[in-house]
Structure 1
Amino acid sequence: MRTRSSCRDWATPATANSAPPTDRLLSLPSWARNRATSGMFLAQPRRTRWSWASDLPLLARFRAQCRTVSGMRAVVCRQFGPLDDLVIEDRPSPDLFPSCVRVAVNACGVNFVDGLFVQGKYQIKPPTPFVPGMEVVGRITEIASDVADPNLSIGTRVFANVGLGGFASEVVVAAKRVMVLPDNLSDGQAATFMQSYLTAWFALVERARVEAGKWLLVIGAGSGVGLGAVDVGHALGLRVIAVASSDEKRRLATERGADAVIDSRLTADQIKEKAKEISGGGVDYIYDPVGGELGETSLRALTDDGQYLVIGFVGGIPRLPANQVLLRNRRVTGVDWGGWAGKNPGLNDRMLAQVLDLIAQGRLRPVEPVTYALGDAARALHDLEDRKVAGKIALIP
């Protein structure tokens, strides 16, 4: 990744591109869609000042890990193209918006969709230049004067949905979009669990309404999204078959409760037959973030009244045979957690509370991510795209 210095503003107002999706789409959370279309995450209104006087002792405690408001480091996409064209820049700190907080970033989650944004392969194309990254964890360093939430103060550790802008040493985000974190989640876990676990919970509980004791086949189980589904499925009392490509990924799936594992390097037909053999005739649910040929073939592993959950298409959009759906009363169900959460914020908050409660009980165990330095963002995205990493990835500024 190249390094450069810049005195230009770190972002410019945004508009949405309404072009249809390209290849390999994943669900973009609604908060990212909202910000991409409204420009909120990039706009630069007049700064709201806040008094530091009463918090100087606390500020000193976090001084080593919190950037000053004079500047920040950020990974920048100057134009859509190869991941290696990303640059890391010294940039002015963004102004503090009304109703917002400034967060010094400790860790930023890396998701497959970040690479799609950079390469211009997503259906929403933010104006360039922009800073990728959707999920961050850090400590609050500044609060707008109109923020009245008693749970937020200087030094509070929070998770933030930022839409874009997360691959940076600091972010400014609406106070209503941050969440105070429990102590039993590390920075890395907190920065990488939400998308995976809430997608899995929404898919299995809200969309499939799964029944304990039934069989769940998780494709791509070694990815962060897949491991989240294995973990949630096990906690819900399902019997889980995990399909993953390496010994390490299958080990992680087993640790999170998989009852059986299958090597994804087998042919699609072999995987289908093994799943049917393990489950005694067919699985009840398929959780598929991969798609492609395996998605098409695995549908035939469903039992009567089985349900195929469409999570994403990193391996290509599958051509599901409609006759296989009709003849055995199977169901194909789309899962768009982000869109649902945007329309049902109260229900999503309750769902998040349920997930966090299970984490606190030790019944859900998000993996510790593999970490990369901020300047290695391109390599991290390459490794994620090439499926070299088991679990999740986080950038550390």
Structure 2
Amino acid sequence: MRSWQVHELGDPIDRLVLDEVEAPEAGPGRVVLDLEAVGLAFPNVLQCRGEYQVKPPLPFSPAAEVVGRVSAVGDGVEGLEVGQRVVSLGGALADQAAVGAASAFAVPDGVAPEKAVALPTNYCTTWYALHDRAQLQPGETLLVTGASGGTGSAAIQLGLAAGARVIAVAGGPEKVAACEALGADEVIDHREVDDLVERVRELTGGSGVDVAYDPVGGDVFQQVRRCMAWNGRLLVIGFVAGIPEIATNHVLLKNYSVVGVHWGASLARDPASLGRQMGELFTLAETGAVDPLLHPVYGFEQGARAIQDIADRKVVGKVVVSV
């Protein structure tokens, strides 16, 4: 079968090779999927470069999540049958993948496979961030940076579904338009404003935001922390622009919390939480409250380009490769 493989670490476009490999088998507790689509995310870029905290042994095939039909079921698997369409964490950028049955979920008939594959990483991370870590309440104000990306667009939709007022921050007309289409109450083009902090203060009547969702880091984090309201919660989702330093004196004086969000590690401590999160998200997807923003879907032969485009920040929304 075809599989995009990393044999040496480096930039995805240079290191990903389309190989022919043996088809996987369904070991105990696992199922084999004939894949329809593969979801990709920024951690896949870091894996290719050897910079992610979890370092798979070489060679490996990067994927954040996969969706497809069950073609084989291993011993001890209950609740999944051959022919079912399921979505799962992990997998491979390949024709087939063997995945753990515990992280595979039947896709409701009303959810398209390309939409379903956008849910596990981006939306579950965001659900965990907003509901478990920030305890976002109806009527609160949520600031989202990197708002046109996979996790940022999820934060807009899940924030609105929770009854929050959402202020989205993005750069450039295309990304601003995407945030507006998602229903953000206010959209700030950071390329067009001289002072992001002042603009947020104007939009909040000087009080600042109750919750900030920041997957960007770097200098953006330093601006976001100055936007926090009294008793606010600043969610650290990632740091694609660099790892910032935290001015703890400012945290004390403004009485806000800086809250780490390590969704993957949370699953190791509470594996059942994944099923609860997916159940909530499937319900929202079926009702239309959640409709994942997708970058134009890549063909399978464009697998390396898809991951490189994430690295080069050329994408708007979730990156999906059709198989």
TM-score normalised by the shorter chain: which range applies?
A: over 0.9
Q: Residues 149-298 of structure 1 correspond to what in structure 2 (within 5 A)? A: 149=78, 151-162=79-90, 165-266=91-192, 270-281=195-206, 282-298=208-224
Partner of 1:131: 61
- The alpha-carbon deviation at position 254 of structure 1 amounts to 2.0
Q: Deviations over 1:325-378 (max 9, x none)?
A: 111211111111111122112233223212221222222222234211222222
Q: d(CA) in 1 for partners of 2:119 and 2:103?
A: 16
Q: What is the percent sequence identity of the aligned residues?
A: 39
**How do 1:63-78 residues align onto structure 2 when only pairs under 5 Å count?**
72-78=1-7
Does 1:81 pair with 2:10?
yes
Q: Deviations over 1:126-181 (max 9, x none)?
A: 2211111131000011223x2452x422211011223xx41000011222221100
1:117 to 43, 47, 59: 47
Whether the 8 Å contact between 2:168 and 2:187 is mirrored in structure 1 is yes
Opposite residue 33 of structure 2, the aligned amino acid is V
Structure 1 runs (4+) deviating above 6 angstroms are none
1:17-36 aligned within 5 A: none
2:289 aligned to 351, 355, 363, which one? 363
Please say if residues 291 and 312 of structure 1, whose CA atoms lie closer than 8 Å, have aligned partners that are also in contact.
yes
- The one-letter amino acid paired with 2:202 is E
The answer to whether the 8 Å contact 1:100/1:143 transfers is yes
TM-score (norm 1): 0.77
How many Å separate the matches in 1 of 2:219 and 2:132? Answer: 27
Aligned mate of 1:99, from 29, 45, 50: 29
How many residues matched?
321
1:330 equivalent to 2:235? Answer: no
- Matched residue of 1:370: which SS? coil
Do the aligned residues in 1 keep the contact of 2:15 with 2:48 (CA within 8 Å)?
no
Alpha-carbon distance in 2 for matches of 1:243, 1:131: 33
Q: CA RMSD in A?
A: 1.6
Gaps of 5+ in 2: none
Between Structure 1 and Structure 2, whose CA radius of gyration is higher?
Answer: 1
Change (3 A) 1:139 1:361: same
Counterpart-to-counterpart distance in 2, 1:340 and 1:85: 31
2:213–2:237: 8 Å Cα contact kept in structure 1? Answer: yes
Cα offset, 1:312, TM superposition: 0.4
Aligned equivalents of 2:191 and 2:246: distance in 1? 21
Q: By how many angstroms is 1:257 displaced?
A: 2.4
**Is the contact made by 1:188 and 1:369 (CA closer than 8 Å) also made in structure 2?**
no
Match of 1:20 in 2: none
TM-score by length of 2: 0.95
What SS is found at the alignment partner of 1:253?
A: helix
